[in-house]
Structure formats: C-alpha cells, structure tokens
Amino acid sequence: MRVLGVDPGLTRCGVGVVEGVAGRPLTMLGVGVVRTPADADLGHRLVAVEQGLERWLDEYRPEFVAVERVFSQHNVRTVMGTAQASAVALLCASRRGIPVALHTPSEVKAAVTGSGRADKAQVGAMVTRLLRLDAPPKPADAADALALAICHIWRAPAQNRLQQAAALHASRTAPRTATARAAASRTPGRRTPAAAPAPTPDPSSDPSKGRTA
C-alpha cells in the first residue's frame, strides 16, 4: 500500500510518502514540507496548505492518508493552527475519496521506536533505518510525516484483523428474530462508520430555503 503521512502545521506541514506492506522492507517515495509565511493572513495560509497538499496527492496518488491526531493540551495558539491545517488535509483526502486515518503521536512513536515516549531524535533515527536513508529527513516535521505513514502501514494488518474479528463476533451473536433483523436493516452501515458515504446535507442547509420573500 502507498500512504501519504501528514504532520499538520501552518508554518511547516510535514509530508512523506511510503510504500510497502507490514513485514517487508518499506520504500520512501518522497518527503518534504509545505511551508506558509507566518505573516500572511490565516485564510491565505490555509489556501497555500491546500495547494501544497493537492500537489502531493496529484504526484503520488496515495491509497491512504495518515494524519496526526491533534490534541489540545499543547500551546493554545499552536494547536488552533494545527487543527486547522489538519482539517485541510482531511478535506483534500476525503474530497478525492481517499480513506484517512488519524494516529496519535504516541501511537506513531510506539509503532516506529517501540516506545510511546520516544523523542524526535529517536523517531528520526528509526525512520532513517527503516527506510534505509543516508541521513534523518530534516526538518523533524518531514521525519514525523514518514513515521506516520510507516505507522499506518504497520497498524493496518492489526486493525484489519480486529475488524474481521469484530465482524465475525457480530455475525455469530447477531439476533435471529425477524423483529431484530428488521431493526438492524433500518440502520444500515452503522457498524462501519469509516465506510459511510459522504453525508447528504440537511435540507435546511439549502441556501434558497432561507431567503426572504
């Protein structure tokens, strides 16, 4: 599988593309950073992030996009920019129908280094070794994006096995009465939210509805 990892940020948005499957050597296809100037206004910065990510999606056509999950325990100003840049990444991928997964920083560190508390240098060193690079990718945001992609490739088989096990369990314990089957059929797809189609907007969101006479 080919995965684009995105370490979201407004000043530096790390991007890295990794191809491979779990248990085999992985290949780095590309790595870089989408930058936007700190003195530009927020709207233009988000447009620049969008344009940058679109170029990466056009160039590498990834099958999956892995984005770092944003937490708000960090610096308030930074976390807002990070959340907004991650929204752009999610939007760009979902608009193309590419599945997006969110991984927490500790999931990524644990997957790549074995410890959820690894520092930037350890992550960079492991990314360099796993992808057989000559030197750690710079800046750290670029290395983090590759780590996200690696994490996604390695976690995917485990996640698939969990989903298969859950599906098997659900089919064995599914209610067999007609009423229960009818109830289940009224809520199709509820068990697989990831596969849900793009939501159709509420009729009240139709601009023409709210117009004054």
Q: Binding site for Mg(2+): which residues?
A: 7, 68, 141
- The reply to whether 48 sits near a second copy by the rule CB under 8 A is yes
- The answer to whether the beta carbons of residues 35 and 14 sit under 8 Å apart is no
Q: Smallest distance from the beta carbon of 172 to a second copy, in angstroms?
A: 24
Residue 19 found at the interface with a second copy (CB under 8 A): no
Exposure class string for 78-90: b at 16+ Cβ within 10 A, else e:
eeebbebbbebbb
Binding span for a second copy by CB under 8 A among 88-96, 105-113, 114-122, 161-169: 88-96
d(CA 17, CA 65): 9
- Residues in Cβ contact with 141 at an 8 Å cutoff, skipping those fewer than 6 apart: 7, 9, 12, 13, 14, 33
Which one of residues 45, 103, 152, 155 is an interface residue with a second copy (CB under 8 A)? 45
> Is the Cβ of residue 3 or residue 118 nearer to a second copy in the bound state?
3
- State in angstroms the smallest separation of the CB of 115 from a second copy: 26
Catalytic member of 7, 54, 107, 206: 7
Q: Where in the sequence numbering do the catalytic residues fall?
A: 7, 68, 141
Binding interface with a second copy (CB under 8 A): 15-16, 27-37, 39-48, 50-52, 55-56, 58-60, 70, 72, 76, 79-80, 83-88, 90-91, 93-95, 100, 102, 142, 190, 193-194, 196-202, 204-212
